[in-house]
Amino acid sequence: MLKRGLAVLVLLGLVVAAIMWVLTAPKPLPASELAAGYTPDLANGQAMFNAANCSACHATPGQEDRTKLAGGLKLKSPFGTFVTPNISPDAKAGIGGWTELQFVNAMKRGVDDQGQHLYPAFPYSAYSLMKTSDVRDVFAYLKTLPAIATPSQPHDIKFPFSIRRAVGVWKLLYFRPHEFTADARKSAAWNRGAYLAEGAAHCAECHTERNALGGPETDKLYAGAPNLEAGGRFASNITPHKDGLGDWSEEDMAAFLKSGQDKCFNEPTGMKDVLASTSQMSDTDLAALGAYIHALPAIAGNPKHKTC
């Protein structure tokens, strides 16, 4: 009986392991995701590149040229240090050898060119909301930028987080990929702002506190992240609460994203790289972002780091 019981337990363990192996497998999009007859819109690709703030993470630290995307930025976290990769069109060091489908899968499903999970330090949870045509336009635009031959550096991640397959567990818990759907009850400006803030601009990725597994605290969306990086920056509460932007107008928000100065004429250092991108966005898109953020639910949080 004892042997039979042990055999049953082993069998159950194997079944559970097999189920988890299947459930945690990368789930890339099929080739049919790329609609036929598509023509790249480079102007839109550049606009989405700026909205997505690609240069803040992927430009070589300390350089002025935002189009040279050799990576190398070190992002310290409780799980270890993530190092941003080269996404220039260099065929060997960058993504010049990637197919369009591989790029779309990285952006929208968090799967790299080798079919492995990407760490969610890359904000694909937000990018998954983007229209595939917008992602394709970003890829087309990236191919027009300088090719940089600097090899990407490896991450320095602690065990067991260093096991890529374990990211599949994180995805089971927190990743719900879907394209943005407009709310017919809201204005066109609000919907555009929602698309940008929730998707390409991934505002919540920085401005929302995380739990011990790196999952977002959904009841604190946009209410600030006091420990955005291990021992590093904080992210302010950007909800219309008194702890955040409660006394800002939609116009104040749009003007800040354009000029880089808040309504008190401060230049926030923690937003420097983000503002370098938002300052390149159209006035229409910035107004839409202001409208959406201004309409967020007011949530208390992070009052010591109130903006202005």
Confirm if 53 and 271 have CB atoms less than 8 A apart: no
Residue 262, pLDDT score: 77
The per-residue pLDDT for range 147-180, each reduced to its tens digit, is 999 999 999 999 988 989 999 999 999 999 999 9
pTM (2 d.p.): 0.90
The per-residue pLDDT for range 258-304, each reduced to its tens digit, is 998 877 666 676 788 889 999 999 999 999 999 999 999 999 987 77
Confirm if 281 and 275 have CB atoms less than 8 A apart: no
Helix (H) or strand (E) holding 30: none
Residue 198, pLDDT score: 96
Confirm if 145 and 69 have CB atoms less than 8 A apart: yes
What is each CA distance from 306 to 71, 225, 262, 272, 276, in whole angstroms?
31, 11, 12, 17, 21
Confirm if 147 and 70 have CB atoms less than 8 A apart: no
Close Cβ partners of 39 (under 8 Å, ≥ 6 residues apart): none
- Parts of the chain with a pLDDT under 50: none
Strand partners, 80: 77, 157
Six-digit token pair at 215? Answer: 């999952």
What is each CA distance from 120 to 77, 102, 109, 193, 279, in whole angstroms?
12, 17, 10, 23, 26
Residue 63, pLDDT score: 83
Residue 212, pLDDT score: 87
Residue 50, pLDDT score: 96
Residue 81, pLDDT score: 92
Q: What residue segments make up the domains of the chain, in order of their start?
A: 39-174, 192-305
Residue 268, pLDDT score: 72
Residue 96, pLDDT score: 96
Residue 229, pLDDT score: 57
